[in-house]
Amino acid sequence: SSELTQDPAVSVALGQTVRITCQGDSLRSYYASWYQQKPGQAPVLVIYGKNNRPSGIPDRFSGSSSGNTASLTITGAQAEDEADYYCNSRDSSGNHPLFGGGTKLTVL
């Protein structure tokens, strides 16, 4: 079955750069999107497609992909970036969205 695998937790010093990764076979066929979720709030789309940011998302967020791995990079992490981040793609059928298990980002 299709799976997207993320590291459970990552930390970064304030102002530094952090990369959050997502691995899965479906990423060879489909781009990943990335969601940010803060406690008690709904997810917010921060990156989609090859490397696109919805309106209002700071340009310190960027995305990339290579083989079966997608990455979300935050360049110059801010305190407000502390959140859970989920990657999202499709399963092998292409019909079902698939989420990674999430990465808890701590900004030190």
Which residues of this protein are in contact with another protein, per CB under 8 A? 33, 35, 37, 41-45, 48-49, 52, 54-55, 84, 86, 88, 95-102
- End-to-end alpha carbon distance in the chain: 36
Nearest residue to 37 via CA among 2, 72, 66: 72
Least distance between another protein and beta carbon 21 (Å): 16
Least distance between another protein and beta carbon 24 (Å): 14
Choose between 26 and 33: whose C-beta lies nearer to another protein.
33
Angstrom CA distances, 30 to 48, 74, 79, 81, stand at: 11, 22, 31, 26
Choose between 60 and 99: whose C-beta lies nearer to another protein.
99
Nearest residue to 77 via CA among 57, 97, 107: 107
Choose between 31 and 76: whose C-beta lies nearer to another protein.
31
Least distance between another protein and beta carbon 12 (Å): 21
